[in-house]
Amino acid sequence: MNFEKSQRIKRLPPYLFVELDRKKAEIQAKGVDVIDLGIGDPDLPTPDFVVEEMAGAVRNPKNHRYPSSQGSPAFRNAAASFCKKRFGLELDPDSQVCACIGSKEAIAHFPIAFVEPEDIVLVPSPGYPVYHIGTLFCGGISYFLPLKEENQFLPDLFSIPQDVAEKARIIWLNYPNNPTSACATEDFFKKVVDFAESNNIIVCHDAAYSEMCFDGYRAPSFLETPGAMDVGLEFHSLSKTYNMTGWRIGFAVGNPELVAALKQVKSNVDSGQFEAVEDAAIAALSSDQSFVKRMQDIYTRRRDVLVEGLRSLGIKAMKPRATFYVWITVPEGHTSESFSTLLLEKAGIVCTPGNGFGEPGEGYVRMALTVPEERMSEVVERLKGVL
């Protein structure tokens, strides 16, 4: 039989991290001790108190039945309470909170509610690939917003042609930003609200890294901005904050109409997250957050080892105030691809070429702070041998 894939599948770019895994496996098969700074997957375990809560919840028969696709009332209450304590947001758990099977799932599914074929979605580039992929699945058109160093890696809203803005349904934002580690200002978020109101555009803010902050920096919620609740939906994830990437749990909050639309999509495409996972997530969200502070301290030390080491070698590297990524300018004479290939083949270091996140990422690579300090020091030593 001839199994012909749909055009929407054919239009998808290769998923970046699948290719990284393939290259890593090739090098490891040759016996190379690989240091993986590619995918942003925490190397540290989920906190014990969360695991213990999960162990008990698994045994509870109430969790053995179908869950709610919007999340249990207890989980939605915990998410609302977290947002109140952390950002000062007043959220109705019933109408303004929806559980997600990890924020990636919701980010991919949300456009289904609003994007028709040929509609425009404003997508940051370089950026998390799923913003573009979710648009393609709906038959929409991604209009890419270049994130440039001279603009502090913030999109230039005034550069968007008016005819494009008038056709756009959604604008995606992500601060603290993956991959650049840039942070947004309150003034920028105010401009986004004005832009969205003027053009009737939904603002979707991916806040997956809001708790990964260093040096006293406090990442704001987009929804703290005056008027943001009228135009916006914000996606939160427990993956990086509590080392729970494999647990697949997050939540979306914001405008009631937008939350209701996400719930409608989810009720038709999934049956919700296992409630034992939600119970464990409640423990994480309701904790005193001292675990988060410990993680911030660990990543700060790793960041300093890597950034100072890179700079000592003459490599330009941003010192992030948030996320666990370092955005690095490749040395003269290299492209993103050639430099990342050099590091992998000659030093056994996996990093992510910046152009894999979009064309404006050319000239950069991303390294994740996901190995212990001693391995981070080894990264610097290995670099000395190839540069």
Beta bridge partner(s), residue 173: 205
The one-character DSSP state at 221 is P
Closest CA to 207 of 247, 170, 240, 168: 240
Closest CA to 322 of 212, 238, 215: 212
Q: Which residue type sits at 72?
A: S
Please give the helix or strand (H or E) that residue 141 lies within, else none: strand 141-146
User: Global pTM?
Assistant: 0.96
Query: Which of helix, strand or coil describes residue 138?
Result: coil
Domains of the chain, by residue range, sit at 14-43+290-384, 48-286
Rounded CA-CA distance 296/284 in Å is 16
Report pLDDT for 10. Answer: 86
Question: Which phi-psi region, left, alpha or beta, contains residue 125 (left: φ > 0; alpha: ψ -120 to 50)?
Answer: beta
Return the structure tokens found at 88.
Answer: 């000062």
For 14-43+290-384, which CATH class? alpha beta
Beta bridge partner(s), residue 236: 251
Give the β-pairing of 232-237 and 250-254: antiparallel
Closest CA to 178 of 155, 206, 151: 206
Report pLDDT for 16. Answer: 64
For all residues of the chain together, what is the average pLDDT? 96
For 48-286, which CATH class? alpha beta
Would you say 76 and 93 are in contact if contact means Cβ atoms under 8 Å apart? yes
Rounded CA-CA distance 22/1 in Å is 29
pLDDT tens, position by position, 223-241: 999 999 999 999 999 999 9
Return the structure tokens found at 220.
Answer: 């704001």
Closest CA to 125 of 167, 174, 192, 162: 174
Closest CA to 366 of 349, 384, 383: 349
**Per-residue pLDDT of the chain in tens (387 residues, 90 and over written 9):** 889 999 888 888 776 667 777 878 888 888 889 999 998 899 999 999 999 999 999 999 999 999 999 999 999 999 999 999 999 999 999 999 999 999 999 999 999 999 999 999 999 999 999 999 999 999 999 999 999 999 999 999 999 999 999 999 999 999 999 999 999 999 999 999 999 999 999 999 999 999 999 999 999 999 999 999 999 999 999 999 999 999 999 999 999 999 999 999 999 999 999 999 999 999 999 999 999 999 999 999 999 999 999 999 999 999 999 999 999 999 999 999 999 999 999 999 999 999 999 999 999 999 999 999 999 999 999 999 888
Work out the widest C-alpha separation in the chain, in whole angstroms: 61
Cβ count near 88 (within 10 Å): 11
Q: Look-up: residue for tokens 């950069």?
A: 364
168-173: strand order across its sheet: 97-100, 250-254, 232-237, 202-206, 168-173, 120-125, 141-146
Report pLDDT for 17. Answer: 67
Q: How far is CA 260 from CA 9, 235, 255, 264, 270, in A?
A: 28, 14, 9, 6, 15
Report pLDDT for 149. Answer: 97
